[in-house]
Structure 1
């Protein structure tokens, strides 16, 4: 692994920032070194939406906290990341398969304002990171650890969403001493138990994976009530994937039930009860092998609780990071 000085990186970042601003308009965008991330909407959720579990009340994307961008060279690829900096506890966000480091505009300013150093990166082939070599997508936890070492993080909170939860789980099993906590959002967690795979695959009929990402990952409640939010989510996803599919990265080793049961990091599992991928019975199946993990299920929410219900999601994650223990099964 080498650290990239990237003498041309500033210009590339500024150009990317202009491109994203033009392409996404009201959506969140890339950051440029020493500047704030792109802003959309007001700096806070509407007053009427605060404290309510009502997915029908749209929340504008808040103004983003200042952040710098950078590039990290890893064997066979270059990864793009942003980092709000600061002296508070670090948080690393690992994006879903449909996203990138652009996928966290509702979380970045809220977590930074709460005193955390917030970091996100794009995996190989996702926005601003180089594509993987054909047949060699790399090990997701290895790339994540390279970033952790590059940024000098000693201990940190890790949050993985959907496919990103595979690599966050793998990392937590490999490096438990580096983590303050683990949050997994709507993720199969890379589990390879045959019965688990049989049940989860039965939920996805032929042609399921060919449907649009926003249909699969946003609940019908949200899509019906928030056309603009649906459009913004889709624009970020389209920008993240660049119009092509990305080969899934590998795990360091299979995650079966015995391996998962060794997870010693304080963990919170989150899902939505309208998630087409991971409905609550699947979450319970996973939690049964993590006796010390809390769970949280949001009502009328799909695969993207951080986007559909950002105020509640951010509040609950912050409470967890501050030491709150959630029960075995909690609903919102």
Structure 2
């Protein structure tokens, strides 16, 4: 099951004066569906929702998977280096350049075009208010949840390169890490078979 956060395709942005928070929005959906315990996975911006839910409702989770993302917490030793590896003009580059690896863009131009369409569609009507976390997210809270944890990184990732993901994984005891070679930020799009197989094996192991 996947859902669109506020302001993304299919989900209204809500009110500027009441943006809600990552964890409570997801928990409202979980309660509506009657789900008691589940595996949580967040990719890219979804990693912020994952970390907030882990810190806020750990008793409802079976495992945690973070893909090409980091937690919504500030770690000086990890986050400060982003300013070093990403130029100031990075935000102005085309999304397909920032998020799809060069090998994929060269080998699958038709896939790139489909991804561009999907990326534009995901923006919905373009209205979006910055949403905050419910909890103050810390490594201590993430570790206290004591969840089986899986970190997946793209070998050609620009946002969160493998070395950065490995550094984050070291903060979580007994976590495991997978590097998907040649893939960029959108590993699930570029190499779906490998991605799905790895995730399903992890979920089955901890079900």
- Deviation at residue 284 of structure 1 after TM alignment: 1.4
Q: 1:133 is matched with which residue? A: 15
Could you say which structure has the greater relative contact order, defined with CA pairs below 8 angstroms and 6 or more residues apart? 2
Q: 1:220 is matched with which residue? A: 102
- Quick check: 1:317 aligned with 2:206? no
- Quick check: 1:187 aligned with 2:74? no
Of 160, 164, 173, which residue of structure 2 is paired with 1:291? Answer: 173
Task: List aligned pairs for 1:40-79, cutoff 5 A.
Answer: none
- Deviation at residue 205 of structure 1 after TM alignment: 1.4
Q: RMSD between aligned alpha carbons?
A: 1.7
- Deviation at residue 138 of structure 1 after TM alignment: 2.1
- Once the two structures are superposed, residues 241-290 of structure 1 have per-residue CA deviations (whole angstroms, 9 ceiling, x without a partner) of 03636343211233233333323111111011110000011111101110
Moved over 4 A (4+): none
Structure 2 distance, partners of 1:259, 1:177, is: 12
Aligned length: 206
Task: List aligned pairs for 1:230-241, cutoff 5 A.
Answer: 230-241=112-123
Q: Normalised by the size of structure 2, how large is the TM-score? A: 0.92
2:144 aligned counterpart, secondary structure: coil
Structure 2 distance, partners of 1:243, 1:214, is: 20
- Quick check: 1:162 aligned with 2:41? no
Of 179, 182, 201, which residue of structure 1 is paired with 2:83? Answer: 201
Name the structure with the higher helix share: 2
Structure 2 distance, partners of 1:300, 1:243, is: 33
For residues 247 and 222 of structure 1, do their structure 2 counterparts lie closer, same or farther at Cα, with a shift above 3 Å needed?
A: farther
CA contact (8 A) 1:165 1:187 kept: yes
Q: 2:143 is matched with which residue? A: 261
Of 273, 276, 279, which residue of structure 1 is paired with 2:155? Answer: 273
1:261 aligned counterpart, secondary structure: helix
- Deviation at residue 215 of structure 1 after TM alignment: 1.1
- Once the two structures are superposed, residues 28-57 of structure 1 have per-residue CA deviations (whole angstroms, 9 ceiling, x without a partner) of xxxxxxxxxxxxxxxxxxxxxxxxxxxxxx
1:295 aligned counterpart, secondary structure: strand
Structure 2 distance, partners of 1:207, 1:137, is: 29
Q: Normalised by the size of structure 1, how large is the TM-score? A: 0.59
